[in-house]
Amino acid sequence: GQQVMQIPQYQHVQEGEDFTTYCNSSTTLSNIQWYKQRPGGHPVFLIQLVKSGEVKKQKRLTFQFGEAKKNSSLHITATQTTDVGTYFCAIKAAGNKLTFGGGTRVLVKP
């Protein structure tokens, strides 16, 4: 079935630095969603991207959908300890079900 790859699998970031995590698909996507899961918590919806080249911002988080709608990125500026967690992208496969990527686990060094 349709799959999505996330890189990197782990991201160790110094507090205050920026980082980017990527989500790649081999097929063109109708849309892509991003979720965040804090340690011990549950996935929480962050945002959905639909249009080619779309860029959306949530405070220090910037989400982008690729022009070919095959990839997406999440960029976090001035990382804080509250950014710790696993960030998942998710794509809609046949039948309206979501397929989640493997996630990028973010650890912040104070």
Partner 1 sequence: DAGVIQSPRHEVTEMGQEVTLRCKLISGHNSLFWYRQTMMRGLELLIYFNNNVPIDDSGMPEDRFSAKMPNASFSTLKIQPSEPRDSAVYFCASSLQLSTDTQYFGPGTRLTVL
Residues lying near partner 1 in the complex (CB under 8 A): 31, 33, 41-45, 48, 88, 92, 95-103
Strands 104-109 and 10-14: parallel
Nearer to partner 1, 66 or 101 (CB): 101
Structure tokens at 63: 């989400």
Q: How far is the CB of 31 from partner 1 (least distance, A)?
A: 7
Nearer to partner 1, 19 or 88 (CB): 88
- Please, what is the end-to-end C-alpha distance for the chain in angstroms? 40
Q: How far is the CB of 23 from partner 1 (least distance, A)?
A: 13
Structure tokens at 102: 């493997």
Asked if 56 and 47 count as a contact pair (C-beta separation under 8 A), the reply is: yes
CA angle 35, 84, 89 (to 5 degrees): 20
Q: How far is the CB of 95 from partner 1 (least distance, A)?
A: 5
Nearer to partner 1, 66 or 103 (CB): 103
Q: How far is the CB of 51 from partner 1 (least distance, A)?
A: 14
Nearer to partner 1, 42 or 59 (CB): 42
